[in-house]
Amino acid sequence: MNMNLQSSSNSPQQDQLRQPLVLAVDDNEDNLQLLAQLLMLIECSHITATDGQTAVIMAQNYQPNLILLDMMLPDLDGIEVVSRLKQNPETMEIPIVAVTAMAREEDQQRFLRAGCKEYIKKPYIIEELEATIRRCLG
């Protein structure tokens, strides 16, 4: 289980008052670092998890404004993570963006039907990822 809380400046409490909190979930550390850098650039605080079970726990504990979820995780697949989050009254309203290398239309539709608000294909196009994050944060 890997949990990491980072913010771009000041204390986490101060940053959370003015910056959205994003939970980034990916079992690949390089992908997490890329997401973390982008989130800092667009002035979002972020927390990270490297597996599905940790992601569910962190979403419950931290109540992020958005979850960026890799759909292929080692312990729980992304659909199961989405299902658990959407069944829990504490996390059911958190928007989830599926982050996936699966580019087939039926996979993308399955993610949306499961409860994801949007999806982003890997490898990322940074401008597209940033636009999706901003759109989901409102």
Query: Which domain CATH number covers 7?
Result: 3.40.50.2300
Q: Quote the domain boundaries for residue 42.
A: 3-137
Contacts of 79 by beta carbon, 8 Å cutoff, 6+ apart: 71, 110, 111, 114
Q: Are 78 and 100 in contact (CB under 8 A)?
A: yes
Rounded to whole angstroms, what are the CA distances from 50 to 9, 17, 23, 134?
Answer: 23, 26, 11, 23
Domain total of the chain: 1
Q: Are 91 and 115 in contact (CB under 8 A)?
A: no
Gap between the Cα atoms of 14 and 27, Å rounded: 29
pLDDT tens-place string over residues 13-52: 544 567 999 999 999 999 999 999 999 999 999 999 999 9
Q: What is the pTM of this model?
A: 0.88
Span 95-116, pLDDT tens digits: 999 999 987 999 999 999 999 9
| Predicted local distance difference test score (pLDDT) of residue 7 | 45
127: CB partners within 8 A, 6+ apart: none
